[in-house]
Structure 1
């Protein structure tokens, strides 16, 4: 299959990247992060999460973040909404897209949201219906689609079944997520090839974590199966509290470097993303988590 001319990169650092940081990050920093990403050319930024502060205290200021960001025309600002209470708060805050989430692993579903896969799908039905009725975009994530911290290998048929359910629910996009970063390109090819048999590949996105250093290779494999939407986080920020050993999302700088080398357009300013990654890493008092970002920054400074 020929590679696409354009790929949509969804930047998830303000939500997925920061949600597990133990030190509370000031609202003004979160707002600046979203604004910088918007200005760098991202057409979709996952900006907040309307979940209980009890479970995710880092996201307690979601309403304030959404109220203070400077919205760039043409940019979709997304937020995680686990239930109707979260949906109503997100709608009131003016989000453009709500994100619901299920798992391809029964064990992970119970550990993550305390219910079975089937029950989780049922719980999200009213949220999905309300989002679509309100004219909002609806996105769903299939967690542990390529491996589970409790079960190990996950049935491809189960991934297909969950993705199909979300498609029938009316989702505009469905994320196939390697939540703990254990996949390799061969498995990605198998899973994406299977899912694209039942869901339009234009609706599917790849969400890869880089725990074992395979994320860029996995993106290449997904590209070759017709996937044209990918999630990433500046400087590789992020992780998963329910997945032991899981490191951050694939670094946006590394993804952009790959796509640029393939002559695939993203509309995103690579140099500015490098700056954002270094700025955010500095604020968090750690080294940058992107090889391409660190190398580019060092070369520039030499």
Structure 2
């Protein structure tokens, strides 16, 4: 099948891993860690965010970190997260950044909580984000946050997910990452939603019959340690080939509630994909160095 021929894209997320840590991590330590990750061979490094330092104080030094990164010997691209138009504008001033990510929640409660704006206001932000990215030669990554349900009682079903994916694609989004902010996804939900969107937005036969453009579908899953592997398997078997993860599963969303719900662990993902025979072309020596250094960051 065509979906099985897509290359694997691994997005390592030190930004997501660090953002909820209370004690400030020294800028030079962040730089040393991210520089190691840049040498591993990931497709993308989600390295920082241009958001209010009041909201995420840990990442107030993102511009300083960026200025010290060594991009001379890496094929990895940089991604920065934004939460409003001001952040978009700031991210677009940095040539080193390839991707600008925006969390678009389909839960009204969480969108207010995460970006201090409504869903309708966020649609306007996405439109302006896409226009600015085109102008500055960057690619937007729109995260469909709460894509597998939410704990806030807001309406959720597969049709709502599909509706917003259609609308975001219609506005020109080229990458949509289904996001499970609070870990409510299950293998059953993943196998229901992911193939639906991949068939709709990535499969040539479907695209020929559709007015919608081709869109890359990725996954940004959060999980407890006990459910990581079953979610990775479900995602892979559903045709997903773009995965967000973080070393040792550190991090998670500080705007959410469950301390046990962290990121997907990159080492679990790597092990699974190796078993499946995927060629990842990773420098495992540099990966081990990053693992060792992580002890100083995530103590």
TM-score by length of 2: 0.88
How do 1:69-218 residues align onto structure 2 when only pairs under 5 Å count? Answer: 69-71=69-71, 72-94=73-95, 95-151=97-153, 154-200=156-202, 203-211=216-224, 213-218=226-231
Deviation of 1:118 (Å): 2.5
Q: Distance in 2 between matches of 1:172 and 1:96?
A: 13
Report how many aligned residue pairs link the two structures: 284
2:10 aligns to what? Answer: 9
Measured against aligned partners, the alpha-carbon deviations of 1:191-212 in whole angstroms (never above 9, x if no partner) come to: 1123234322760111111226
Deviation of 1:3 (Å): 4.1
Instruction: Answer whether contact 1:182 1:211 (CA < 8 A) is retained.
Output: no
User: Secondary structure of the equivalent of 2:223?
Assistant: coil
How do 1:23-102 residues align onto structure 2 when only pairs under 5 Å count? Answer: 23-71=23-71, 72-94=73-95, 95-102=97-104
Distance 1:29 1:3, change over 3 A: same
Q: Distance in 2 between matches of 1:84 and 1:115?
A: 11
Instruction: Answer whether contact 2:10 2:243 (CA < 8 A) is retained.
Output: yes
Q: Which stretch has the larger CA shift, 204-213 or 50-59? A: 204-213
Deviation of 1:53 (Å): 0.6
Q: Which stretch has the larger CA shift, 236-245 or 214-223? A: 214-223
Distance 1:222 1:54, change over 3 A: same
Instruction: Answer whether contact 1:235 1:281 (CA < 8 A) is retained.
Output: no
Q: Distance in 1 between matches of 2:276 and 2:236?
A: 11
Q: RCO higher in 1 or 2 (8 Å CA, sep ≥ 6)? A: 2
Q: Is residue 249 of structure 1 aligned with residue 263 of structure 2?
A: yes
Q: Distance in 1 between matches of 2:94 and 2:276?
A: 38
User: Secondary structure of the equivalent of 2:148?
Assistant: coil
Q: Distance in 2 between matches of 1:207 and 1:73?
A: 23
Q: Distance in 1 between matches of 2:237 and 2:117?
A: 35
Measured against aligned partners, the alpha-carbon deviations of 1:73-114 in whole angstroms (never above 9, x if no partner) come to: 432101012223212221223311111121122222222223
Q: Is residue 229 of structure 1 aligned with residue 242 of structure 2?
A: yes
Q: Distance in 2 between matches of 1:67 and 1:110?
A: 31
Q: Distance in 2 between matches of 1:234 and 1:93?
A: 26
2:272 aligns to what? Answer: 258
Deviation of 1:226 (Å): 1.8
Instruction: Answer whether contact 2:13 2:45 (CA < 8 A) is retained.
Output: yes
Instruction: Answer whether contact 1:146 1:153 (CA < 8 A) is retained.
Output: no
User: Secondary structure of the equivalent of 2:200?
Assistant: coil
Where does structure 2 lack aligned partners over 5 or more consecutive residues? 204-214
User: Secondary structure of the equivalent of 2:24?
Assistant: coil
User: Secondary structure of the equivalent of 2:42?
Assistant: coil
Q: Distance in 1 between matches of 2:75 and 2:287?
A: 19
